[in-house]
Amino acid sequence: MKLGVVTRLILLSSFLLGSGLPVVAQDYLDLGTFSYTTALNRSFEDTTEDKAIQEWNLNLDAPIVLNPKTALITGITAGSIQVGLYPSTMPRTTLYALSLRLGWNTTYSEQWAGTYLLIPKVASDFSSGFSRGKQIGAIGILTNTKTSRLKYMYGLYANTEEFGLLVVPIFGVYYKSENSLFEANVLLPIKVDLNYELSTTTSVGLRFDGLGTSYDIQNLGFDDHYVTRASNELYVYGQVKITSSLLLRAKIGHAFFRNYKVYNSDDTIDLSLVGIFFGDNRTILNRDIGDGFQFKTELVYRFDLSKRTN
């Protein structure tokens, strides 16, 4: 059965290098995701201090099909992170992010489709409301369909982070085995998701997320600063279908090269290209957080496209 524009939609998270950038090249769309993450050990490097890291994220998408070749993409992402920023006198700092997505997906031919998004965001401790922490991002992705089981993605992302301009080239691949049990969804350097179906209701997988973003902060000890958050997370997970549309995932994994670095607001760089910082003479003002194990749970609302004939 041949599917139309809906199956070609690529729904993109606002948190590129933040909460992941899921690409939907398959015959379903994950329209809503709620997640909770906690660090199992979270000591500061070279100290005996121990402060919790907890994270919540909500992601909602609402594609609107305009015609057989074009669809609008709308969405919202909200999240918070509670983290200790030693030596701040506050026991924990809460970092918030709220972002919108507005763009479109266009089908050029049977082989090529494009997705283009504008992503305004506010990321801060919200001590100054919406007046600080404003960022603007944009992304473009081209999808090349080789077969119904193999697709490639090529794109570019840019965002005005607190530290300066961030630019990330993107390469992705989606593959599904002939028996439909194994699925690989890769979007480098953002994520890798490998999933194997054990039954109609359960599956297991391996997931890598390369995460990073920045927040304006105005708290005690750091009253005119920003914090950059980076975390490369590798999980194994189990997934269960609660209903035909609701999925529950439990993930256990390890965060490596994890850090929350605080800088003065005027201490910026020239350009960040895939984690390479040009003109970086910044001074780190806090004690960094060590790597460690993490536990994550996710509740997903999935819309099945396999029965649609758009």
- Give the model confidence (pLDDT) of 218-245 as tens digits: 877 778 899 999 989 999 999 999 998 9
Residues in the chain where the model's pLDDT stays below 50? 1-24, 46-48, 309-310
What distance in Å separates the CA atoms of residue 268 and residue 228, rounded to the nearest whole number? 11
- Number of compact structural domains in the chain: 1
Do 23 and 174 form a contact (C-beta atoms < 8 A)? Answer: yes
Residue 247's domain is classified under what CATH number? 2.40.160.40
Q: Is residue 310 part of a domain?
A: no
Quick one: pLDDT at residue 242?
95
Task: Give residue 42's pLDDT.
Answer: 55
Q: What is the pLDDT of residue 112?
A: 96
Alpha helices by DSSP H, listed for the chain, are 5-8
Q: Which residues contact 101 (CB under 8 A, 6 or more apart)?
A: 12, 14, 61, 73, 74, 75, 76, 77, 117, 118, 119
Q: Could you tell me if residue 57 is inside a domain?
A: yes
Domain with 250 in it: 5-304
Cβ contacts of residue 290 below 8 Å, gap of 6+? Answer: 41, 42, 43, 44, 45, 258
Residue 28: inside a domain = yes
- pLDDT at position 129: 79
**Residue 26 counted as domain residue:** yes
Tokens 């760089």 correspond to: 269
Q: Is residue 309 part of a domain?
A: no
- Cβ atoms of 7 and 65 within 8 Å: the answer is no
Q: How far is Cα 113 from Cα 102, in angstroms, rounded to an integer?
A: 17
Within a domain: 283: yes
- Is the previous residue joined to 87 through a cis bond, with omega within 30 degrees of 0? yes
Cα 154 to Cα 139: distance, rounded to the nearest angstrom: 11
Does 109 map to a domain? yes
For 23-70, write each residue's pLDDT tens digit. Answer: 445 567 889 999 999 987 655 554 445 556 899 999 999 888 899 899
Q: Do 15 and 77 contact (CB within 8 A), yes or no?
A: yes
